[in-house]
Amino acid sequence: MKITIKVDPELCIGAASCVTIAPETFQLNEENKAWVLDHGQSPEGNKYERVIEVSEEEKENILLGAQSCPTLAVFIYNEEGKQIFPEL
Ligand code: SF4
């Protein structure tokens, strides 16, 4: 399935818990903000939002990373564009 992952750089405080849990998806940039990777790759460079193809297991891990964020700076949307985290 495809999910969209978005980090709000205004909310991100560089706590890096998302990076610890899901290093293939989140990495801190030079401004200490988490950017979004596609399985460890960053094909079009530094991006705060990316659509990636994931397995159920990968999705669960990325959700854990998002849940670990102290400022809820990570937003996740499903294929239909519905926000699945944080739950509305
Ligand atoms: S856990 Fe949240 S605050 Fe920390 S780096 Fe990730 S997005 Fe930023």
pLDDT score, position 35: 96
Distance 81 CA to ligand 1 centre (A): 22
CA 14 to chain centre: 13
Kindly report the CATH number assigned to the domain that includes residue 13: 3.30.70.20
Task: Tell me the pTM.
Answer: 0.95
Domains contained in the chain, number = 1
pLDDT class for 45, splitting at 50, 70, 90? confident
Q: At residue 88, does pLDDT exceed 90?
A: no
Tell me what pLDDT residue 8 has: 98
Question: To the nearest whole number, what is the mean pLDDT of the chain?
Answer: 96
Burial of residue 81 (number of CB atoms within 10 Å: 0-12, 13-18, 19+): exposed
Tell me if 77 sits within 8 A of 4, measured CB to CB.
Answer: yes
**Which residue segment(s) compose the domain that 30 sits in?**
2-85
Short-list 58, 51, 56, 40, CA closest to 79: 51
Q: Which of 12, 29, 33, 85 to mutate to test the pocket of ligand 1 (most atoms within 8 A of CB)?
A: 12
For atom 1 of ligand 1, the residue with the nearest CA is 69
Read off the pLDDT band of 44 (50, 70, 90). confident
